[in-house]
């Protein structure tokens, strides 16, 4: 669970405009992530995505533009306000100020895929198992965990935190099967992010 201090930190960053991770558009690696989610992960047409820590929701809006149905949430009211200003009329995109650890009954096993652009990297290491459990609870049988993560960071203060293959294997391998993983080419944003990578995991169980 995130503490109130952690929640306040994200709200303060949004209020002060300290959002260097915001690229002003969909993440450049999103196209590659979805291509492999479809190819290796058998992501269905018009799949339903859940995305926590969506910020301005640029990538989530792009997923909706491609025909996917997306529920995007953020713990910061200011982030969701910004997202609604930009994409509030986007068909297929639901934006909500919400705590990802509080699971609504309507969300249980309701999604085909999770989209994680560094939400895992934003959480303190001790909160990672609870996050994975919260995402599992929302995934239907055979659902996908699709992530863009930071393998290496160089920052004065955390978050973000690095999350490499060994850590993801520790967190996911019991309940998920790895479909695909690769380093992302290009220069990450912001500068403190030294290397990004993508991975796609399928929840074990019958499809």
**Global pTM value:** 0.92
Interior angle at CA 24, CA 44 and CA 182, nearest 5: 50
On average, the pLDDT of the chain sits at 91
Beta bridge partners, 97, equal 74
Which pLDDT does position 18 carry in this prediction? 63
Residue 101: give the domain boundaries.
4-203
Task: Give the mean pLDDT of 96-113.
Answer: 95
Strand ranges inside the chain, DSSP E: 48-52, 69-74, 93-97, 111-117, 139-153, 176-183, 193-203
Say if CB 117 and CB 189 are below 8 A apart. Answer: no
Structural domains of the chain, count: 1
pLDDT over threshold 80, residue 10:
no
What radius of gyration do the chain's Cα atoms show?
Answer: 16
Say if CB 61 and CB 88 are below 8 A apart. Answer: no
How would you class 185 by CB atoms within 10 Å of its CB: exposed for 0-12, middle for 13-18, buried for 19 or more? exposed
Which pLDDT does position 205 carry in this prediction? 80
Q: What is the pLDDT of residues 186-202, one digit of tens each?
A: 877 777 889 999 999 99
Domain CATH code at residue 159? 3.40.50.150
Which pLDDT does position 189 carry in this prediction? 74
Least trusted range by pLDDT, from 20-34, 55-69, 105-119, 141-155: 20-34
Which pLDDT does position 127 carry in this prediction? 94
Least trusted range by pLDDT, from 14-23, 90-99, 155-164, 190-199: 14-23
Q: Say what percent of the chain tops pLDDT 70.
A: 89
Q: What is the pLDDT of residues 35-58, one digit of tens each?
A: 999 999 999 999 999 999 999 999
């Amino acid at each position: 669970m995130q503490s109130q201090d952690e929640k306040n930190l994200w709200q303060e960053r949004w209020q002060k405009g300290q959002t260097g991770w915001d690229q002003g558009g969909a993440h450049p690696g999103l196209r590659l992530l979805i291509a492999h989610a479809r190819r290796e992960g058998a992501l269905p047409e018009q799949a339903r995505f859940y995305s926590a820590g969506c910020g301005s929701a640029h990538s989530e809006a792009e997923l909706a533009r491609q025909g996917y149905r997306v529920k995007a949430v953020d713990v910061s009211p200011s982030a969701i306000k910004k997202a609604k200003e930009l994409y509030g009329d986007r068909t297929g995109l639901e934006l909500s100020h919400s705590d990802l650890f509080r699971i609504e009954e309507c969300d249980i096993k309701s999604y085909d895929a999770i989209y994680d652009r560094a939400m895992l990297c934003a959480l303190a290491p001790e909160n990672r198992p609870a996050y994975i459990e919260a995402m599992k609870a929302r995934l239907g049988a055979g659902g996908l965990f699709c992530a863009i993560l930071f393998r290496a960071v160089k920052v004065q203060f955390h978050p973000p935190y690095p999350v490499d293959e060994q850590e993801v294997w520790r967190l996911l391998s019991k309940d998920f099967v790895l479909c695909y993983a690769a380093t992302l080419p290009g220069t990450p944003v912001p500068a403190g992010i030294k290397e990004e990578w993508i991975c796609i995991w399928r929840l074990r169980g019958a499809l």
